[in-house]
Structure 1
Amino acid sequence: MIKETPNPPAADDVSPYESPDSKKLNDAADRALNHYLNPSALKSPVARKPSTMFFVSPDMMDEDLLAHACESLASASVMTSNFAGYLEGPHRHTAMAIQQIVMLAELAVNRMLDNFELPKTSPHS
């Protein structure tokens, strides 16, 4: 019985790194493929330098930071609720959902404040 399709040719065991030139060619091929198929692979990660426009002082007490976060979340909750009053339909529902998420975050921060214990100072200080 004769096969209708021939066997595939045997693959050569050739490494793309047999010579320095083949390594360069392989690297160039990888760069070309990345250029067209994966452009983000070519970009080097940008060193992130945080802005100092708004800076939280490192000596701020944890309780003060929590209190400020709680007040900010309460303000955002009220603003979102007021804004939702001007909306109708699905947009209103979206704004109210955002308001609820902010309110839940406010409750979590409030719980942290309730559970917050000031550091005990040693009597030898």
Structure 2
Amino acid sequence: MIKDSPNPPHHSSYDASLLQEAAYRAINHYLNPESQAQAQAPIDEPTEPPFDGLFTVRADLDAQTLLVNASQDLASINVIAAHLAFEVDGIQRNVALGICRMLEGVQMLVDKALDGCAQTTSK
């Protein structure tokens, strides 16, 4: 049988541990690139304390934008609760209708605040 490549030259002067380290670096580079980027990136101290919550609100948004989004979210939740109220019977229906009524009250408060924002911007 004919080999396509010749035997590698035999060198007794190379260090096998250097080859093994290079092999591990290559494997980590291709299989775990995030750890390499973190290891090489300089570590900067955070300028503000870390946020513990899941969501955050951008600091540059004005009150009117926040109220408009809150109003839309409340309307969506109200529709979901109303739909649920007609899918269930008994006490669960009363609970869902109670949620709808509470949402309508909060919706009215947000709408009133939104009207106040619109009046101050129009003056």
TM-score by length of 2: 0.54
One-letter code aligned to 2:113: M
User: What percent identity do the matched residue pairs reach?
Assistant: 26
Q: Which runs of 4+ in 1 moved over 3 A?
A: none
Matches of 1:74 and 1:80, distance apart in 2: 10
Equivalenced residue count is 72
Q: How does 1:1-125 map to 2 (within 5 A)?
A: 49-51=51-53, 53-116=54-117, 117-118=120-121
| d(CA) in 2 for partners of 1:94, 1:115 | 32
Name the structure with the higher helix share: 2
Q: Structure 1 stretches of 5 or more lacking a match? A: 1-47, 121-125
1:77–1:65 distance in 2 versus 1, CA, 3 Å: same
Gaps of 5+ in 2: 1-49
Q: TM-score, normalised by structure 1?
A: 0.53
Q: Secondary structure at the match of 1:118?
A: helix
AA at the equivalent of 2:73: S
Say which structure, 1 or 2, has more relative contact order (CA 8 Å, 6+ apart).
Answer: 2
How far does residue 118 in structure 1 lie from its aligned partner after superposition? 2.5
